[in-house]
Structure 1
Amino acid sequence: MKNFSPTLNLVDIITPLDWVIFSAVLLLTAASVIWGNSLKKKTPTDKDENDYNYLDLLLMGRQLTLPLFVATLVATWYGGIFGVTKIAFNQGIFNFVTQGAFWYVAYLIFAFFLIDKIKSYEALTLPNLIGKMFGPKSERLSAVFNFFNVLPIAYAISLGTFSQMIFGGSLWVNTTIGITFVLLYSMWGGFRAVVFSDLVQFFVMCLAVALILGLSVFNFGGISFLKTNLPESYFSLTGTVGVATTFVWGFIALSTLVDPNFYQRCFAATSSKTAKKGILISTFIWFCFDICTTFGAMYAKAVIPEADSAHAYLIYAAQLLPNGLRGFMFAGILATILSTIDSYLFLAGTTLAFDLAPKKFKNNPLIHHIGVVLVGVIAVIMSEVFNGDIKTVWKTLGSLSAACLLFPVLFGYLFPNRITDNQFVAVCLSGVITTSYWRNANHHGFWANVDELYIGVATTGLLLIFFYFKSIKKA
């Protein structure tokens, strides 16, 4: 058995065969974007040309079939692979619980309880849907939340980290170059380009993580090897953080129910049946993917425990895989990141151009392109603000989304027309204020262990109950 080093200059071990395979995957991705764009149908009449083109830009003309739905939905969810594997490297199967199991529950709720409801609104975006449910003020406020929720900060960090490990240089330079590359192809073909690039990236990323786990088991043995070489806490559902902190991630996972990427793909699906079936198939694939990344990172911890947790998975995999497969693995890691960052860039640009732009600028592809570029610039800047810490990005932005939007939107599904436009705004803003205050205030004793997300959720929940009973009295 060869010795594994905890530190590694990746350029030194990448062979010409690795570069050939890596480049081939990138070329195949580019070809898929070109092919997908060639399938775009011509507008049926001159009269509706602008509306048709913009619908195609945002939702691929609502013609997203089941295979494409599954590929783009699965691929979009794993751009923060360095964040996920870092958690698994440090905490073991706690990662599977917080970044996997909780999310499966949210996916199933979405599939069985929300799909039919949202398709009936014929909305283009999540804020557009909320506007139809509550009113224009709610639409505008939710668009602001939506924008911050889909800023691809974590995925910009992942892309910069990956590029830095291979080519060297500073993180922000690598992040800038990577973001520029993604901007070029995502602006050119719109949502269609995102979907067809995801199709290739889906297969590459899934095969790559499966290879890493499979070769780990082949070389080192199964679960007994991990139990021998890892602390007992690595096999605890709550890791070393306790139940309360673990369930914070449960609430963050429920933010899927107000995640604009999920809604966009459901809006774009050919039918509710396609979306529902696609989510169920995707959930199974996510389960398999999470098994691979969690246990793959645990093998990395067992084999090279001294490695930097942020890079350990990649360093371990680079030494585990033979020539050729190593290049495929690099392509798989890159595909995992690109398939998410292009979706988030595109959707954040959509939020600026469609949901937040003045009415006279809507349905204008040029404004959309400008929005996407602006989002790319913001993502690079914010990646520096967060000092490259992906987990903090998820925790910060995910907490605000779950605390402020989750309950009001679910309330609207369960009790239509029970709260007004102004009441929706009041509930959401109260959640923002209390969450932000609790995050920055000093607490002592019992309150020191209460996460800000719980405070925000409690605030929005209590206000919704108050407005609900108020509406009953008026009736």
Structure 2
Amino acid sequence: MTLGTGDWIVIAVYVGIVAAITIWHTAKTTTTSEFLLAGRRLTLPIFVATLVSTWYGGIFGISEFTEYYGLGAWLVQGIFWYIIYAVFALFIAEKIRSMPFYTIPDILENNYGKKAAFVGGIFTYIMVNPAPYLLSLGILIAYFSPLTLVESIIISTCLCIIYTYLAGFRGVVYTDLFQFMWMFLAFIVLFYLAYNEWGGIEFLQKNLPETHLQITGGMSTGVILVWAGLACWVFVDPNFYQRCAAAKNPKTAKHGILTCIAFWLVFDIVAIGSAMYGFAALSAGELSIPPGNNKYMYLALADHLMSSPLKGLFVAGIVSTIMSTADSFLFVAAVNISRDYYWRYLNREASDEKVVVATRIAILITAVFSAALAIALPKVTQLWYALGNIGLSALLISMLRTFYGKKHGGHAALASMFAGAAVACLWLLFGLIHMKNGFPVYPLGVEPLYPGLLLSYLAYEISGRLSHESNSKK
């Protein structure tokens, strides 16, 4: 894709508006509550915009998934998640907002003690490392510039640092509002132009494999169940907890997530639909992409369908999609260090100023670590997937029990975390040792998440009951 003067002007306007939003909200950030939760005053529109935009940082992954499974991408990346979103909204969101807490380890400490909070904080940090998104943004910068990937990752990291460091969570959510509007505009325009160019379903039926137009996308039941399980990520995602805690009131948290589902549905339709048009056009010979570069389908499609300055609008839309996730993960990971370790274990009486300073230092530390990880492991998304399985296996049971069911003590939570993480690690290691055709082969053909969750649940129950019996004898 080549960009003209008009495109670069549009991109410059985008950058300028983001900078202006940052400067404006920096002056309003003074207390810990303001810096970490925007004063717990997020209204419904702001809540919806920041949560929706935070969830699409892996936009290139959507096009890759669509290439292999077509409409199946909507099932495993959309429909299953909508169900979990709705469960979270109806049964958990209001409870989070009613609690006087900031983070997941806050909740763990209140229910299980400091040791559980310490261990849980480690897994939380693992799950929100922004390295995959800094890498994605770096790849995009390198695509349009003579810079190397390493230089591009450094630039992408600096961009994310600027407004998270200066304006905190307030800067994140208000830039997310702007990026939310821009990313939707960009992809709606792309989908419309693709539909206008090639027509409706007939073009897709003619040029895509038959399975691509089936809701399962040709995936096996086992693969579908794996992705269905991964949707439970929502229950332990710190971004959901932080935004619910920052909502104006419990109803805003609940209704906000339910409203988000409608926007996620729309964006999935235009994003997956555009990718399907792109791959159909590629099959029909009306679009060309160098071999091995199908992850750039959106850019190739935009280059084919758009002229200046629409190309600039779309590129800024891609940047918005990635940046709104990268900044959120960077900030939540930094809060994990400052709130969950500095404040909890080193200085419980820290003033607002000291907590804000600690968070800003943590932003820099996390950014440097994440950039280094992205540079060292350019396939870091595989690492992110593996660590996500470990984190989910460790945290899910203990976190859900803080809201529903019979809750046991700290020993049960620790046993559950260690057992779930250990089994998931061993399962992953087995798969890596027994690779076949470039893919891991797991015992019994079962992905790590399910044995991890099973052992985590058993450890929670057994340890809890043993502890209860021991206390009864005393």
Shared topology, TM-score over 0.5?
yes
Q: Aligned equivalents of 2:232 and 2:379: distance in 1?
A: 25
SS of 1:237's equivalent? coil
Correspondence for 2:172: 194
For residues 5-44 of structure 1, the aligned pairs below 5 Å read 10=1, 13-38=2-27, 40=28
Find the counterpart in structure 2 of residue 161 from structure 1.
139
Q: Residue 347 of structure 1: which of 324, 332, 352 is its match?
A: 332
Give the structure 1 partner of residue 276 of structure 2. 298
Partner AA of 2:19 in structure 1: A
Unaligned regions of 5+ residues in structure 2, if any?
Answer: 436-440
Contact conserved, 2:126 with 2:388, CA < 8 A, in 1? no
How far apart are the structure 1 equivalents of 2:225 and 2:298?
26
> What residue is the counterpart of 2:347 in the other structure?
360
Query: Matched residues in 1 for 2:184 and 2:319: separation?
Result: 12
Contact 1:57 1:190 in 2 (8 A): yes
Question: Is 1:419 aligned to residue 397 of structure 2?
Answer: no
CA distance in 2, matches of 1:198, 1:27: 14
Q: Deviations over 1:106-125 (max 9, x none)?
A: 11111100023222321011
Alignment-derived partner of residue 264 in structure 1: 242
Report deviation, 1:81.
0.8
Of 65, 89, 95, the match for 1:117: 95
Structure 2 distance, partners of 1:200, 1:323, is 22
- Secondary structure of 1:311's partner? helix
Give the C-alpha shift of residue 467 in structure 1. Answer: 4.1
Residue 377 of structure 1 and its aligned partner are, at CA, apart by 1.4
Look up the equivalent residue of 1:284 and give its one-letter code. Answer: A
Separation in 1 of the partners of 2:356 and 2:43?
Answer: 24
The answer as to 2:422 corresponding to 1:433 is yes
1:396 maps to which residue? Answer: 386
Residue 387 of structure 1 and its aligned partner are, at CA, apart by 2.4
Residue 400 of structure 2 is matched in structure 1 by: 410
Q: CA deviation at 1:450?
A: 1.2
- Contact residue 304 and residue 316 of structure 1 kept, 8 A: no
Amino acid at match of 1:359: L
Work out which of the residue numbers 210, 220, 224 in structure 2 matches 1:242: 220
Equivalent position to 2:191, from 209, 213, 225: 213
What's the offset of the Cα at 1:461? 1.9
- State yes or no: 1:330 paired with 2:321: no
The answer on whether the counterparts of 1:121 and 1:132 sit within 8 Å (CA) in structure 2 is no
Show CA shifts across 1:256-305 (max 9, x none).
11100000001011100011111111110001101111111111111225
RMSD of aligned residue pairs (Cα, Å): 2.1
2:144 alignment partner, SS class: helix
Q: Deviations over 1:122-160 (max 9, x none)?
A: 101111112112111111111101101110122112101
Contact 1:349 1:372 in 2 (8 A): yes
Give, in whole Å, the separation in 2 of the partners of 1:303 and 1:352.
Answer: 47
Alpha-carbon distance in 1 for matches of 2:434, 2:54: 37
Q: Distance in 2 between matches of 1:95 and 1:396?
A: 20
In 2: Cα distance, 1:20 partner to 1:452 partner: 47
Amino-acid identity (%): 32
In structure 2, the residue matched to 1:380 is 371
CA distance in 2, matches of 1:469, 1:136: 21
How far apart are residue 319 of structure 1 and its match?
Answer: 2.0
Contact preservation (8 Å) 2:127, 2:384: no
Q: Tell me the alpha carbon deviations over residues 353-411 of structure 1, each in whole angstroms, 9 at most, x when there is no partner.
A: 11122422855222211211111112122223442353x24421321222111122112
User: Is 2:300 the partner of 1:309?
Assistant: no
What letter matches 1:323 in structure 2? S
Q: Distance in 2 between matches of 1:388 and 1:169?
A: 19
- Correspondence 1:86 to 2:64: yes
User: In the alignment, which of 120, 123, 134 is matched to residue 112 of structure 2?
Assistant: 134
Task: Please state whether the residue corresponding to 2:9 is helix, strand or coil.
Answer: helix
Cα distance per residue 1:212-254 (max 9 Å; x no partner) = 1111010001122111111122123333441212221222211
Q: Which residue of 2 aligns with 1:7?
A: none
C-alpha separation in 2, matches of 1:22 and 1:443: 46
How many residues get paired?
A: 451
Contact 1:251–1:402 (CA<8 Å) still a contact in 2? no
TM-score of the superposed pair, with normalisation by structure 2? 0.90
Determine if contact 2:194/2:305 at 8 Å carries over to the other structure. yes
1:318 equivalent in alignment to 2:314? no
Residue 446 of structure 1: CA displacement?
Answer: 8.7
SS in 1 for 2:216: coil
Instruction: Report how far residue 161 of structure 1 moved.
Output: 1.2
Q: Which residue of 2 aligns with 1:49?
A: none
TM-score under structure 1 length normalisation: 0.90
Q: State the alpha-carbon separation in 2 of the partners of residues 168 and 71 from structure 1.
A: 34
Deviation of the 1:447 alpha carbon: 2.9
The answer to whether the 8 A contact 2:239-2:332 is kept is yes
Partners of 2:47 and 2:256 within 8 A in 1: yes
CA contact (8 A) 1:186 1:342 kept: yes
1:68 and 1:199 in contact (8 A); partners too:
yes
Distance of 2:337 and 2:215 partners within structure 1:
40
**Separation of aligned partners in 2, 1:457 and 1:94:** 25
